[in-house]
Amino acid sequence: MNLDFLIKEALKEDIGRSGDVTSECLLKKGKKEFFVLIANENAVISGIDLFKGVFKCLNKKIVLKTKFKNGDIVKKGTKVISLHGDALSILMGERTAINFISHLSGIATETRKIVDLIKSSDTKLLDTRKTTPLFRTLEKKAVFHGGGINHRMTLSDMVLIKDNHISSSGSVKNAVLKAKNKYKGKLKIEVEVENLSQLKEAIEACPDVIMFDNWDVNKLKSVLKLVPKKIKTEISGQINPKNIRKYANVGADYISTSYMIKNSKWVDFSLEVSM
């Protein structure tokens, strides 16, 4: 993702063809002000670079300062970023900048909540490719800032064999062996299994990772013992904060979910004049 292009397009969307007509008629041209970004609730910060980028795009002379970095936890009422410069430029970029940091901090905050739920286990939290189109890099960074681990970014990063691929290949074993023959160790191979028969085939074919998709948590406790330690294990399907602890306690290496992106709530920030 080209952040400069994204910022410019977002500003174009918000400013429109005639500029900030409200600020332009009420503010004296060239007037400088101090502003501060305030967190109105507890949060994990993500998107500081984008927030700064919006104002630098509008006016390179705007000075932004912060003692925080992406991934830091802030409490309600915290002054996160200070700004000083042309007031018209700052007000013109206010909504776009806050939209970015609110959205991404929401994902980071939700991710941290889920990570904390399973921190007593050895299971790690993975994200998925269920992201907002064109925002994948940003949203996955937000997951990382919240303490999660990024799974594949694109279809070209690794082989992930799912139900439709298995149907086309005839069996789990055939699919894994075809992938091994094609890439000869250059890419990791993961395969999804839905039942015990498929699991046995997967173990025989020996991929890098076996994904248990939509398995009952009680069933997982027994079948995970069948998987050799050299094969990593991943649990996926309908994972949420209410059941993730139970799944984490069965002993898989990873749990993957899109919950923290699909169900995150924007963090409330406000930009205020600092006297």
pLDDT, tens only, 211-240 = 999 999 999 999 999 999 999 999 999 999
Q: What is the pLDDT of residue 1?
A: 64
Helical (H) or strand (E) element with 235: strand 232-236
Q: What is the pLDDT of residue 90?
A: 96
Q: What is the pLDDT of residue 49?
A: 96
Q: What is the pTM of this model?
A: 0.95
Partner residues linked to 270 by β-bridges: 38
Inter-CA distances, 73 with 39, 50, 68, 116, 152, Å: 11, 18, 9, 13, 26
Q: What is the pLDDT of residue 19?
A: 87
Distance, CA of 153 to CA of 126 (rounded, Å): 11
Sorted by where each begins, the domain ranges of the chain are 3-115+264-273, 117-262
Considering all CA atoms of the chain, what is the largest pairwise distance in Å, rounded to the nearest integer?
A: 74
CATH of 3-115+264-273, one of 3.20.20.210, 3.90.1170.20, 3.30.1330.10, 3.10.20.30: 3.90.1170.20
- Buried/exposed code over 23-48 (b: 16+ C-beta within 10 A; e: otherwise): eeeeeeeeeebebbbbbeeebbbbbb
CATH code at 117-262: 3.20.20.70
Q: What is the pLDDT of residue 148?
A: 98
Catalytic residues: 130
Structure tokens at 255: 């749990």
Inter-CA distances, 52 with 22, 57, 106, 196, 216, Å: 23, 9, 18, 51, 45
Reduced 3-state DSSP string for 5-28: HHHHHHHHHHHCCCCCHHHHHHCC
Closest by Cα among 109, 28, 16, 36 to 271: 36
Closest by Cα among 177, 172, 200, 103 to 143: 103
Regions of the chain short of the pLDDT cut 50: none
Q: What is the pLDDT of residue 18?
A: 87
Same CATH fold assignment for domains 3-115+264-273 and 117-262: no
Distance, CA of 73 to CA of 146 (rounded, Å): 9
Indicate the angle between helix axes 87-117 and 136-145, nearest 10 degrees.
60
Closest by Cα among 35, 48, 56 to 74: 48
